């Protein structure tokens, strides 16, 4: 892979190198945006942050809590939150499996994989009974975190599953053999409320809803909550909303604060105290193929996902 190096600037290959997106080492810290109202002790949600205990250490692993990372709107931070919450959970000694359940394969790419080159993906586990899920799971750069990758093949599964008996329980069946090997399974959903997402909700204990701090982001949430309630009623009585995560928050704008206030007003206590700020650090980590907690461990983004991990463990 080409990287920037002195002395190559004049040549054509040097110019190409400068245009390439090869990951460059990042400074470890970034601007620490002031997100708390220091005087009144209020957090970015406008509330006093709850006290979250230090997560207890584990002496054995499993069975996993399965969380669907879900919002039918694209670009709200589902995939980014899946990678970085997963990596932060491993820092607290948790074993984590990330499930790429979006045919776009962005989660797999974000962990440095090239999904089109994989011989087997979650699609094969779903469609071919002879394929063992263990043989498809891949290791990531985080020691305690594995990935069940996907690629565009998965879009065919959505069509093929429609005709099957028990079509909503397919992911549940896929996860059953490995549930005792992990403490958390995070399912990165596609941006739709179709059959794949219904499968994710049927296989999950909880739903984590990333919500962008933008005016229109609230529009689809009622429909999402309605879908969650239907799945709970008809397919999976244990399903609950684990929490709503405000993402892409800009503490310098009144707009972000107004949206935040509306979200807290509408959803109350299920809104996490942790809020993820908008920063270029996240697009950078995608290029690097690594979680932010490894790419820039002391950055504000890393700290935020660690705080989220503590909240998720305590819920």
Ligand X SMILES: Nc1ncnc2c1ncn2[C@@H]1O[C@H](COP(=O)(O)OP(=O)(O)O)[C@@H](O)[C@H]1O
Site for Mg ion in 253-282 (CB under 5 A): none
Please give the Cα distance from 288 to 294 (Å, whole number).
10
Binding mask 180-199 for ligand X (x = CB under 6 A): -----------x--------
Interface residue with Mg ion among 78, 94, 281, 310 (CB under 5 A) is: 78
Q: Considering the rule CB under 5 A, would residue 79 count as an interface residue with Mg ion?
A: yes
Q: Taking a C-beta distance cutoff of 8 angstroms, is the pair 311, 272 a contact?
A: yes
CB of 301 to ligand X, least distance (A): 7
Closest CA to 205 of 238, 229, 172: 238
- 72 CB neighbour count, 10 Å cutoff: 18
Task: Please report how close the Cβ of residue 277 comes to ligand X at its closest, in angstroms.
Answer: 6
Among 41, 56, 63, 74, indicate the residue that binds ligand X (CB under 6 A).
74
What are the two backbone dihedrals, phi and then psi, of residue 147, each rounded to the nearest 5 degrees?
-135, 135
**Of the candidates 260, 234, 233, which has an alpha carbon nearest to the alpha carbon of residue 245?**
260
Q: What is the 3-state secondary structure (H, E, C) of 180-195?
A: HHCCEEEEEECCCCCH
Among 80, 151, 170, 299, binds ligand X (CB under 6 A): 80
Nearest Cα neighbor of 282 from 196, 206, 183, 212 is 212
Chosen from ligand X, Mg ion, none, partner binding at 272 (C-beta under 5 to 8 Å by type): none
Residue 300 is a binding residue for ligand X (CB under 6 A) = no
Of residues 235 through 294, those in contact with ligand X by CB under 6 A are 247-248, 276, 278-279, 282-283, 286
Sheet holding 65-69, edge to edge: 138-139, 145-148, 96-101, 184-189, 65-69, 206-212, 240-249, 271-277
Per-residue contact flags (x/-) with Mg ion for residues 80 to 109, judged by CB under 5 A: --------------------------x---
Beta carbon nearer to ligand X, 133 or 292: 292
Among residues 43, 45, 65, 78, which is the contact residue for ligand X, using CB under 6 A?
78
DSSP 166: T
Q: Which listed option, Mg ion, ligand X, none, makes contact with residue 75 (CB within 5 to 8 Å by class)?
A: ligand X
Q: Is residue 310 within the footprint of Mg ion (CB under 5 A)? A: no
Does the N-terminal peptide bond of residue 94 adopt cis geometry, omega within 30 degrees of 0?
no
Q: Which residues pair with 209 in a beta bridge?
A: 244
- Give the binding site for ligand X (CB under 6 A): 74-80, 106, 191, 247-248, 276, 278-279, 282-283, 286
- Give the binding site for Mg ion (CB under 5 A): 78-79, 106
């Amino acid at each position: 892979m080409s990287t920037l190096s002195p002395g190559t600037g004049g040549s054509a290959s040097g110019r190409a190198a400068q245009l390439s997106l090869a990951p460059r080492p990042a400074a470890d810290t970034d601007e620490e945006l002031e997100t708390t109202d220091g005087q009144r002790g209020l957090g970015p949600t406008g509330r006093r942050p709850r006290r979250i205990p230090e997560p207890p250490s584990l002496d054995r692993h499993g069975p996993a809590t399965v969380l669907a990372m879900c919002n039918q709107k694209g670009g709200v931070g589902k995939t980014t939150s899946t990678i970085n919450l997963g990596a932060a959970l491993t820092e607290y000694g948790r074993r984590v499996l990330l499930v790429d359940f979006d045919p776009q394969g962005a989660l797999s790419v974000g962990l440095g994989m090239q999904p089109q080159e994989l011989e087997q993906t979650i699609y094969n586990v779903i469609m071919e009974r002879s394929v063992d899920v263990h043989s498809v799971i891949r290791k990531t750069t985080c020691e305690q975190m594995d990935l069940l990758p996907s690629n565009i093949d998965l879009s065919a599964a959505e069509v093929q599953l429609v005709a099957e008996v028990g079509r909503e329980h397919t992911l549940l069946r896929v996860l059953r053999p490995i549930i005792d090997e992990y403490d958390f399974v995070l399912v990165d959903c596609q941006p739709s409320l179709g059959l794949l997402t219904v499968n994710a909700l049927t296989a999950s204990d909880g739903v984590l809803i990333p919500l962008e701090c933008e005016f229109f982001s609230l529009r689809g949430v009622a429909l999402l909550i309605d879908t969650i309630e239907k799945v709970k009623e008809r397919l999976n009585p244990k399903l609950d909303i684990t929490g709503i995560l405000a993402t892409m928050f800009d503490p310098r704008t009144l707009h972000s604060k107004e949206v935040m206030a509306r979200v807290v007003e509408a959803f109350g206590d299920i809104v996490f105290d942790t809020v993820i700020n908008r920063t270029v650090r996240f697009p950078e980590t995608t290029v690097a193929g690594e979680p932010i907690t490894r790419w820039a461990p002391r950055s504000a983004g890393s700290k935020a996902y660690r705080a989220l991990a503590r909240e998720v463990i305590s819920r």
